[in-house]
Amino acid sequence: MPVVIAGVVIAAIFAFLWARDVMTPDRPAALAEPEPVPTVSSGEEPLVERFPRNKFLELTTLGLGGVITGIVTVPILGFAVLPAFTGKELEGVDLGPLDKYPEGEWREATFLLDPAAGEVSRRTAFVRNNGEKNGRPSITIISNRCVHLGCPAQSGGPRQDDERETIKTEQAELTLTPIQPANFSCPCHGGAYDTEGNRIAGPPVRALDRYKYGIVNGNLTLLQPYSVGKVDGEGSNAMIKAYGLQGPGEHVDGLEAFLYPIQAQDLE
């Protein structure tokens, strides 16, 4: 809106000046040469330099152009640079005892990302215990947020709702439902992902986001989310092309990635 207003003002000014020049009668030609500009000898007060109208208009146009450029570019630069300085680390979310996640099985975990915010922060993640790798637990935690427009993706396979379990944690209640996904899909626009979260059909632009995790006092702890370009391999052997968390519809690789402030890192 400020750009539009500035454009209208500039157009009105120049339209007025053009109309005045058109309607002004032709001036008679000068009969004599103009008087020479007097020079200033040493010690005298310097003459004030006067600018003709076209010089004034030129400077005014350049100034307004600079203002409009600032109005247009500052929000763009803010969008590109500010997230690098305002990222907030997610505090750990307790997902219950590790033994609630049998090796090789999936659980759909529903939890409060921020218990103080209440139900508005409720999230769902698909969790699989991959067993151990190098003596440490390997866990896959995939977000159910479709990376097309952010709709909730669903597990494409049997659900054991009758075996759903509610666990009390120090933060809030946690619900675990056994699932057997053949894939993950979004009912909104037909996005589909394999069991590692890779896009296999539909409009999503990348793989499903994932969460980092830790084991604290024997409990699985959810940490920061991150975005994924592609996953090679499965389970504990998966090689994840990981990026800083991006919003739905934002590319993390390819030429489109240059539009967004991201940095890639490889996670194993």
Q: Are the C-beta atoms of residues 156 and 181 closer than 8 Å to each other? A: yes
Residues 216 and 198 grouped into a single domain? yes
Q: Output the pLDDT for position 238.
A: 93
User: Residue 114: what pLDDT?
Assistant: 82
Within a domain: residue 44? no
Task: Domain of residue 12: give its range.
Answer: 1-22+51-81
The answer to whether the predicted template modeling score (pTM) of the entire model surpasses 0.85 is no
pLDDT score of 251? 87
Q: Are residues 178 and 216 in the same domain?
A: yes
In a domain, 33, yes or no: no
Domain match, 170 and 211 both:
yes
Q: What are the phi and psi torsion angles at 120 (to 5°)?
A: -65, -20
CA proximity to 183, closest of 173, 171, 192 = 192
Asked if residue 262 and residue 132 are part of one domain, the reply reads: yes
Q: H/E element holding 225?
A: strand 219-232
Residues 57 and 146 both lie in one domain: no
pLDDT value of position 76 = 60
Distance CA 55, CA 65 (A): 15
In a domain, 43, yes or no: no
Residue 217 within a domain: yes
Report the pLDDT value the prediction gives residue 88, as an integer from 0 to 100. Answer: 46
Residues 145, 258, single domain; the answer is yes
- Note the pLDDT of residue 147: 94
Q: Does residue 156 fall inside a structural domain?
A: yes
Q: Is residue 179 located within the same domain as residue 206?
A: yes
- 60 and 177 assigned to the same domain: no
Whose structure tokens read 């952010």?
Answer: 150
CATH number of residue 142's parent domain = 2.102.10.10
Both 188 and 228 in one domain: the answer is yes
Same domain, 119 and 250: yes
Please state the domain count of the chain. 2
The tens-digit pLDDT sequence of the chain (268 residues) is 555 566 666 767 766 665 666 566 555 544 555 555 555 555 555 555 555 666 666 777 777 777 777 676 666 655 555 544 444 455 689 999 999 999 999 999 999 888 888 888 899 999 999 999 988 999 999 999 999 999 999 999 999 999 999 998 877 789 999 999 999 999 999 999 999 999 999 999 999 999 999 999 999 999 999 999 999 999 999 999 999 898 898 888 877 666 655 444 444 4
CA distances 214 to 36, 195, 247, Å, are: 86, 21, 24
Pair (95, 60) in one structural domain: no
> Is residue 40, in this structure, part of any structural domain at all?
no
* 201 and 192 Cβ atoms separated by less than 8 Å: yes
Q: Which two tokens stand for residue 214?
A: 């830790």
- Domain assignment of residue 35, yes or no: no
CA 128 to CA 242: how far, in whole Å?
Answer: 18
Q: Are residues 204 and 126 in the same domain?
A: yes
Per the domain annotation, does 136 fall within a domain?
A: yes
